[in-house]
């Protein structure tokens, strides 16, 4: 659960943020930048969301102070449409992103989650740098599988060039981590790395944000703006989820890649662009081309050097490495002793399909560390994984036990047997009270019911009377 500080002089905006975010995060508010600084001095926050225009110190000044004294804290600025150029300035000064008022709830939540994800990645990389003596700047990706070695080999080949890279892979596999590795290993590393989530920015603002605009191009354009292309000049522009671009912007991006020039909104004269482009998508862009959803010429211009990030289920041998890293990282962060993971728990992790990939693994390990009472994590620390194991897989493992049985198969069986014993003990201790048992297990009641069904257990037989 992240800690978020929202700063705005309007009470209704603060209440809105609290309602939207308090279920998933700890949210505190401040009505002035000065009071926000007092809170920041006494507590650590993962994210600050601040309005630009406020009485007294404005949001840009607050951003400068946060960047100076809390460089690991991410900042998202809020601005009216008429002050978009201030938001671009804020991003050049270190803000993660901005949202325009009035904002769409879905777009806002997406920006918040992506800012928190970058915060987690930064902290992970910092811990790795300390562990590996600084070498993580060159290779920020953990794993020893042949699949990950292949990704690292491709990175070694392309990072020192200006070749365009297209990173593909499922959500949560670490596509932005790969894009940052491309940038950090290149001669452009001292310039800016500007990430742009093509689906998070309102359609009517994306063109002016990317290409910039001239004074008077539209209502509220009181001065010219160079846009994010200008902010990335000399560096790298990362187009995340590029498949979300609308057709008209696909045309303009294709022209930019072809000619190396950009024309700001409302402008007549193009200017040269010195930017390396890295794009990413969790969709099959070739299939989108076949279906007419994505321009073929743009696809070929972006897909000069493809890098596919494998799903976690494709590299189960990397799970112990990742789990150990997250275990140490969150034990240190949460002030816990360094924990040990028993083989049965590790086998349970390796037997899971991980639809959320590395991000899901990280969050589950963080939760397990937070709830740990002792110094060992066993299968009971990951109750939802047992519930997620299909019955067909259970039957297959059971059948396998009558013949030769691999170590992994044995550990999977052991993990499920331990999970069942854990559930039985919970039901006995709570006298079949499912609500109380789910609370003790730290999971949702419905998830607990699913676990009981997976293990053919009923609560009634454990009820007294």
More confident residue, 137 or 303: 303
Tokens read off for 141: 């990706």
Q: Other C-beta atoms within 10 Å of 277: how many? A: 22
The residue-averaged pLDDT of 309-319 equals 92
CA separation, residue 347 to residues 44, 317, 318, 382 (Å)? 36, 11, 12, 11
Residues 6 or more apart whose Cβ sits within 8 Å of residue 120: 362
CA distance 25 to 42: 19
The pLDDT > 70 percentage for the chain reads: 81
* pLDDT band per the 50, 70, 90 thresholds, residue 130: very low
- pLDDT for res 402: 41
Is 356 a residue whose pLDDT tops 70?
yes
pLDDT over 90, % of the chain: 29
Highest mean pLDDT among 142-151, 297-306, 395-404: 297-306
- Rounded to whole angstroms, the Cα distance separating 101 from 59 reads 14
Coil, strand or helix at 79: strand
215 contacts 222 by C-beta, under 8 angstroms: yes
Q: pLDDT at position 236, please?
A: 94
162-208 residue pLDDT tens: 999 999 999 889 999 999 999 999 999 888 899 888 877 766 677 77
Is residue 414 over pLDDT 70?
no
Instruction: Check residue 87 and give its pLDDT.
Output: 65
Checking if the pLDDT of 42 tops 90, the result is no
Tell me: pLDDT of 126 over 60: no
More confident residue, 296 or 389: 296
Among all chains, which residue has been given the structure tokens 């890649």? Answer: 257
Supply the mean pLDDT for the chain.
80
The pLDDT value recorded for residue 390 is 42
Using the predicted structure, report yes or no on whether residue 151 has a pLDDT greater than 90: yes
Residue 355: pLDDT over 90 = no
**102 pLDDT above the threshold of 80:** no
What are 67-94's pLDDT values in tens digits? Answer: 776 777 889 988 875 456 666 677 777 7
Q: Which of 272 and 28 is assigned the larger pLDDT?
A: 28
- pTM here? 0.57
Q: 70, exposed or middle or buried, with CB in 10 Å at 0-12, 13-18, 19+? A: middle
Q: Render 12-49 in DSSP notation, one character per residue.
A: HHHHHHHHHHTTTSEEEEESSHHHHHHHHHHS--SEEE
Least reliable range by pLDDT among 367-371, 384-388, 407-411? 407-411
The predicted pLDDT at position 311 comes to 93
| Overall average pLDDT of the 86-104 stretch | 76
pLDDT over 90 (residue 286): yes
Q: In this structure, are residues 198 and 208 in contact, taking their beta carbons and an 8 Å threshold?
A: no
Residue 299 has pLDDT above 60, yes or no: yes
| Mean pLDDT, residues 320-346 taken together | 84
Name 19's Cβ contacts closer than 8 Å, sequence gap at least 6: none
- 3-class DSSP state for residue 396? helix
Residue ranges of domains in the chain, CATH in brackets: 1-116 (3.40.50.2300), 138-310 (3.40.50.300), 316-462 (1.10.8.60)
Mean pLDDT calculated for residue range 278-304: 94
Smallest CA-to-CA distance from 7 within 49, 57, 47 is with 49
pLDDT category of residue 128 using cuts at 50, 70 and 90 = very low
Lowest mean pLDDT among 37-51, 76-90, 366-380: 76-90
Least confident range from 7-16, 107-116, 296-305: namely 107-116
In this model, does residue 387 exceed pLDDT 60? Answer: no
The position carrying tokens 């699913």 is 450
pLDDT at 391: 35
- Please state the rounded mean pLDDT for residues 350-372: 89
Token pair, residue 287, equals 């299939």
| Per-residue confidence (pLDDT) for residue 398, from 0 to 100 | 39
């Amino acid at each position: 659960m992240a800690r978020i500080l929202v700063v705005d002089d309007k009470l209704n905006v603060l209440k809105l943020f609290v309602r939207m975010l308090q279920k998933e995060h700890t949210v505190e508010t401040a009505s002035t930048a000065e009071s926000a600084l007092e809170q920041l001095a006494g507590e650590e926050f993962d994210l600050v969301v601040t309005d630009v225009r406020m009485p007294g110190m404005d949001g840009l000044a607050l951003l400068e102070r946060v960047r100076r004294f809390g460089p690991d804290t991410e900042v998202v600025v809020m601005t009216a449409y008429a002050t978009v150029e201030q938001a671009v300035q804020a991003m050049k000064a270190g803000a993660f992103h901005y949202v325009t008022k009035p904002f769409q709830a879905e777009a806002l939540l997406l920006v918040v989650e992506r800012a928190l994800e970058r915060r987690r990645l930064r902290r992970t990389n910092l811990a790795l740098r300390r562990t590996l003596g600084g070498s993580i700047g060159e290779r920020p990706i953990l794993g020893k599988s042949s699949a990950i070695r292949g990704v690292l080999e491709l990175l070694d080949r392309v990072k020192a060039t200006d070749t365009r890279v297209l990173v593909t892979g499922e959500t949560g596999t670490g596509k932005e981590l790969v894009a940052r590795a491309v940038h950090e290993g290149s001669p452009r590393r001292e310039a800016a790395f500007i990430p742009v989530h093509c689906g998070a920015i309102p359609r009517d603002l994306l063109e002016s944000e990317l290409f910039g605009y001239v004074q008077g191009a539209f209502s509220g354009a009181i001065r010219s703006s160079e846009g994010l292309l200008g902010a990335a000049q000399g560096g790298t522009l990362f187009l995340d989820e590029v498949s979300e671009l609308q057709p008209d912007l696909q045309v303009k991006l294709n022209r930019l890649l072809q000619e190396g020039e950009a024309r700001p909104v409302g402008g007549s004269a193009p200017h040269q662009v010195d930017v390396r482009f890295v794009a990413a998508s969790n969709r099959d862009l070739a299939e989108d081309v076949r279906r007419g959803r994505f321009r073929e010429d743009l696809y070929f211009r972006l897909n000069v050097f493809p890098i596919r990030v494998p799903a976690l289920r494709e590299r189960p041998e990397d799970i112990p490495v990742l789990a150990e890293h997250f275990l140490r990282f969150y034990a240190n962060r949460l002030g816990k002793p360094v924990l040990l993971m028993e083989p049965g728990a590790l086998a349970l992790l390796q037997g899971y399909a991980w639809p959320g990939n590395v991000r899901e693994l990280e969050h589950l390990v963080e939760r397990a560390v937070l709830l740990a009472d002792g110094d060992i994590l066993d299968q009971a620390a990951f109750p939802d994984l047992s519930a997620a194991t299909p019955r067909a897989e259970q039957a297959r493992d059971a059948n396998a036990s009558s013949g030769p049985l691999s170590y992994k198969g044995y550990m999977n069986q052991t993990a499920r047997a331990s999970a069942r014993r854990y559930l039985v003990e919970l039901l006995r201790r709570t006298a079949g009270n499912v609500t109380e048992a789910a609370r003790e297990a730290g999971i949702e009641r419905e998830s607990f019911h699913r676990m009981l069904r997976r293990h053919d257990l009923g609560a009634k037989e454990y009820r007294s009377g």
